[in-house]
Chain A
Amino acid sequence: MALTIALAGNPNCGKTTLFNALTGSRHHVGNWPGVTVERRSGTFEHEGSTLEVVDLPGTYSLSARSEDERVASQYLASPEVDLVLNVLDASNLERNLYLSTQLLELGKPVAFVLNMVDDAENRGIHIDVPALEILLGGPVIPTVGNREQGITELKTLLAAMARGESNRCRRITVDYGHDIEGELRLLEAEICRDERLEAAMPPRWLALQLLENNVEAKRQVAESHASEAIGQQLSKSFGFLEPHLGADGATLVAERRYGFAHGLVKEVATAADDKATPTSRLDAVLTHRVFGIPIFIAVLILTYSLSFVLGKIPQDWISDGFKALAAFAGARLPAGELTSLLVDGVIPGVSAVIVFVPVIMILMGCIAFMEDTGYMARAAFIMDRVMHVMGLHGKSFIPLIMGSGCNVPAIQAARTIESRQDRLITMLVTPLVSCSARLQVYIVIAGTFFTPLWAAVVIIAMHFLGLLLAVLVGRLLRSALFQGPSTPFVMELPPYRLPVLKATLIHMWEKGSVFLTRAGTTIFAGATLIWFLSRYPGIANRQWTLEYQQQRQAVTTLNLPAAESEERLRVLQLAHESRIVNTSLAARLGQKVEPVLRPILDPDRKRPEAWKDVIALTAGFVAKEIVVSTMAVIHQASEEPKAGERLSPLQVALRDGSGLSPLTALAFMVFTLIYTPCLGTIAMIRREAGSWGWAAFTVAYGLVLGWGMAWITVIAGRWLGFA
């Protein structure tokens, strides 16, 4: 039987680096059941023992209010955990020990890692490790996680504990003083009336949480048959302690814990010297009153360029590669259902998944770099005022801005936001931020119906409309869905640190592969479904396929020059596809829903073919850039402009044949901006929010809001005198 070790500690104490150093590459990333908190576990072997390590989310305490804390405290109390390994930041010992005072109450052996001892030494803090071992009642191993110092000693200790050879844990607890200890014993006695409660966790630990007014503990007690007796004793204890010691239970308990930590630190550590640290020198510039914001904007531009400009290069390779593959397969295989499934369904579907990977990896790498260096907290510090107005956290700023490159990694980037509420709202409004795929639709449509200057104005206005809507919807969601107190903004500004390249690379790899395995299947399935909708039943029509093949044959027998022959074949192919798409299930759907969309796409009832827009919009579910290529098929006109002409054949067809006016074209763009996130975004919301419900909600509110905004565009435009 292997020993399971839970790795617990404050955020920024170097826990994850230590986890990587212990387990190497042998680890697995998943989710904790029922929540969206990442669960990382791994194993290592040492001296013949196999040990499992589970990395808990970094928390300041076990009070079980945030999702992270609830996960940590529930798991720590479960019988799965044999040993708690508490990671302490040596340069910030006092606050780190607050969590230790709680871990010591769990009734499990606790070993300690004194991490980043080099940082502490540099700040003049010397720690007496043997004295610390005595006072904490457990073994303490000093380490420098990012240089793998002390890891072997740590492994040796853990392996010895697994074999039951080391007995260095003495099980000490904080002494809360005569009065509180007396009340704790009385409460324990009442708790022990219920065996089930007694078995779930040490009674003293439950009693302490009750004194702290912990909601989760109270809930557990409420389910017990002894709840009345416990409640009475608790009221009595409060009635005695509060007047006697001059504060409420939560304050008294916190004061005693910090008293323990303070006394301990005084005993074993020298005080930090007063000289300016590298962090304070950096912060003098990076969060400077005047320079702070320009520097932040520069960092943002750099991140954006790396992700979406540099990332576009491999992205183009991938999509060109798949296009070439589809063309190759299309040219070699006989026309028909299976070929179409492969060429128009499977290959573009796989492409639509893989194409995100480079951008995801680069952006997640940048964000991990900002997090690990400590700059992310500064970015939130600088931008919090702005985001507070939106009812969001400073950390929401980066995902929202990155959404203008691509919504998919932006939603993944929202993971840096600790509070679930803030994270959820950020994820739900990010799709409103116009991404680069939607830009391609605007360029085609605005370029058709407006002069180049006005087209630019319209395109920029689209982006501002997206941001404005994100702000408004964010506020609305906050007040409508998430009533109650918003999470407090109490954020640590950790010391700047150089990140470990290996950790950043592991992180990037994890994000990329998690996307492929979890979101990939959804995107792929969705893409195949949309292929089915836009190709059936026409694709199965033998007669049409036969006609198409005969026409092709006729062209090839003419023995025309290669270029002309190719051009004619392309026209034939477009005509064939157009015939299929315009009679497809999607087209029938378009005819069905056309009355609903008439106020926005055909307010004057002059467009008998407005239903064709619906086919393009349906295809846009897969990815917004497909809207343009689908329009090309519908209107039988190429999207590539001929040499020397400003408008492509598609744009000419839209201008002359679609019946769209500049006003309805604008409404179409507004609708395209909002109506639904693409499949990649939907899959990502599902994964990150942990339920299909939120993904469906995003699609639903998008459709309603998109219709409403497009309608307002038409009404306002007519009122202003446009047609």
Chain B
Amino acid sequence: MTQNPPIPLSLLQPGDQGEVVQVYAQGQVRQRLLEMGFIRGAQLRVEKLAPLGDPMELVIKGYHLSLRRDESSCILVQRMV
């Protein structure tokens, strides 16, 4: 099975689904993201972008979360088809 290379979460479009590969952020942001469920293998779905294009809304672990591009670009995901 061939897999696409992982991409930053910020590149996913509304409606796309993905699986977390790695969290690149450091320190406080990293800990917060881990606690909120961004662990290896966690599945997520991008719901929409805010009217002004940032932040994004996504669903992870069954709840809705919003992330700025600053944070979402630090998360590597595998796009799922």
Which residues of A pack against B, CB within 8 Å?
A: 60-61, 63, 65, 92, 94-95, 98, 212-213, 247, 250-251, 254-255, 258, 272, 279, 283, 287-290, 292-293, 377, 381-382, 384-386, 388, 485, 487-495
Q: Which of B25, B39, B55, B65 contacts A384 (CB 8 A)?
A: B55
A485 to B29, CA, bound (A): 9
Q: Is the CB of B66 within 8 A of A491?
A: yes
Q: Is the CB of A287 within 8 A of B23?
A: no
Knowing that A92-B62, A254-B35, A493-B57 are A-B contacts, what are 15 other residue pairs whose CB atoms are under 8 Å apart, sorted by A's residue number? Answer: A65-B31, A95-B61, A212-B31, A213-B31, A247-B40, A251-B40, A288-B51, A381-B55, A385-B50, A485-B29, A488-B28, A490-B29, A490-B36, A492-B65, A493-B64
Contact residues, B13-54 vs A (CB, 8 A)? 23, 25, 27-37, 39-40, 42, 47-54
Q: Is the CB of A489 within 8 A of B35?
A: no
* Neighbouring A residues of B23 by C-beta, 8 Å: 251
Q: Which of B48, B53, B61, B68 contacts A287 (CB 8 A)?
A: B48
Which residues of B pack against A, CB within 8 Å?
A: 23, 25, 27-37, 39-40, 42, 47-55, 57, 61-68, 70-71
Q: Is the CB of B28 within 8 A of A492?
A: no
* Neighbouring B residues of A65 by C-beta, 8 Å: 28, 31-32
Q: Is the CB of B68 within 8 A of A388?
A: yes
Q: Is the CB of B52 within 8 A of A489?
A: no
* Neighbouring A residues of B55 by C-beta, 8 Å: 381, 384-385, 489, 491
A98 to B36, CA, bound (A): 9
* Neighbouring A residues of B64 by C-beta, 8 Å: 279, 492-495
Chosen A-B contacts, 5 in total, with CB atoms closer than 8 Å, are A288-B51, A289-B51, A385-B54, A490-B67, A493-B65
Q: Is the CB of A489 within 8 A of B63?
A: no
| Closest partner residue, chain A, to B25 (CB atom) | A488
| A242 vs chain B, min Cβ distance (A) | 14
Q: Which of A61, A212, A490 contacts B65 (CB 8 A)?
A: A490
A485 to B31, CA, bound (A): 13
| Closest partner residue, chain B, to A94 (CB atom) | B61
Query: With A384-B50, A385-B53 known to touch, is A489 a contact of B62 (CB < 8 Å)?
Result: no
Q: Is the CB of A492 within 8 A of B63?
A: yes
* Neighbouring B residues of A283 by C-beta, 8 Å: 47
| A84 vs chain B, min Cβ distance (A) | 18
Q: Is the CB of A487 within 8 A of B28?
A: yes
Q: Is the CB of A60 within 8 A of B50?
A: no
Q: Is the CB of B40 within 8 A of A255?
A: yes
| B42 vs chain A, min Cβ distance (A) | 8
* Neighbouring A residues of B31 by C-beta, 8 Å: 63, 65, 212-213, 250
Q: Is the CB of B66 within 8 A of A493?
A: yes
Q: Is the CB of B57 within 8 A of A258?
A: no
* Neighbouring B residues of A290 by C-beta, 8 Å: 51
| A271 vs chain B, min Cβ distance (A) | 9
User: Most chain-A CB neighbours within 10 Å: which of B30, B48, B64, B68?
Assistant: B64
* Neighbouring A residues of B33 by C-beta, 8 Å: 488, 490
Query: With A250-B30, A492-B64 known to touch, is A60 a contact of B54 (CB < 8 Å)?
Result: no
Q: Which A-B residue pairs are the 10 nearest by beta carbons? A: A385-B52, A254-B34, A493-B64, A488-B29, A489-B68, A292-B51, A61-B35, A255-B39, A92-B63, A491-B66
A247 to B71, CA, bound (A): 20
Total A-B Cβ pairs within 8 A: 118
Main secondary structure of the interface of B (DSSP, over half): mixed
| B70 vs chain A, min Cβ distance (A) | 7
A492 to B35, CA, bound (A): 12
A68 to B44, CA, bound (A): 28
A212 to B64, CA, bound (A): 25
| Closest partner residue, chain A, to B51 (CB atom) | A292
| A187 vs chain B, min Cβ distance (A) | 19
Q: Is the CB of A60 within 8 A of B62?
A: no
Q: Which of A251, A288, A377 contacts B34 (CB 8 A)?
A: A251
Q: Is the CB of B52 within 8 A of A98?
A: no
| B59 vs chain A, min Cβ distance (A) | 9
| A114 vs chain B, min Cβ distance (A) | 16
A247 to B51, CA, bound (A): 37
A213 to B36, CA, bound (A): 17
| A255 vs chain B, min Cβ distance (A) | 5
Q: Is the CB of A254 within 8 A of B51?
A: no
* Neighbouring B residues of A487 by C-beta, 8 Å: 28
| Closest partner residue, chain B, to A490 (CB atom) | B32
* Neighbouring B residues of A92 by C-beta, 8 Å: 62-63
* Neighbouring B residues of A489 by C-beta, 8 Å: 55, 66-68, 70-71
A487 to B33, CA, bound (A): 12
Q: Which of B32, B37, B52, B61 contacts A488 (CB 8 A)?
A: B32
| B8 vs chain A, min Cβ distance (A) | 16
Q: Is the CB of B40 within 8 A of A63?
A: no
| B2 vs chain A, min Cβ distance (A) | 22
Query: With A254-B34, A381-B57 known to touch, is A485 a contact of B27 (CB < 8 Å)?
Result: yes
* Neighbouring B residues of A492 by C-beta, 8 Å: 36, 63-66
A491 to B35, CA, bound (A): 12
| Closest partner residue, chain B, to A259 (CB atom) | B39
* Neighbouring A residues of B30 by C-beta, 8 Å: 250
* Neighbouring B residues of A287 by C-beta, 8 Å: 48, 50-51, 57
A251 to B51, CA, bound (A): 33
| Closest partner residue, chain B, to A384 (CB atom) | B55
User: Most chain-A CB neighbours within 10 Å: which of B33, B42, B62?
Assistant: B62
A63 to B28, CA, bound (A): 10
User: Most chain-B CB neighbours within 10 Å: which of A95, A279, A388, A488?
Assistant: A488
Q: Is the CB of B63 within 8 A of A388?
A: no
| B68 vs chain A, min Cβ distance (A) | 4
Q: Is the CB of B50 within 8 A of A381?
A: yes
Q: Is the CB of A95 within 8 A of B36?
A: yes
Q: Is the CB of A95 within 8 A of B37?
A: yes
| B69 vs chain A, min Cβ distance (A) | 9
A605 to B67, CA, bound (A): 57
* Neighbouring A residues of B34 by C-beta, 8 Å: 250-251, 254
A492 to B63, CA, bound (A): 8
* Neighbouring A residues of B63 by C-beta, 8 Å: 92, 95, 492, 494
* Neighbouring B residues of A254 by C-beta, 8 Å: 34-35, 39
A95 to B32, CA, bound (A): 13
| Closest partner residue, chain B, to A271 (CB atom) | B62
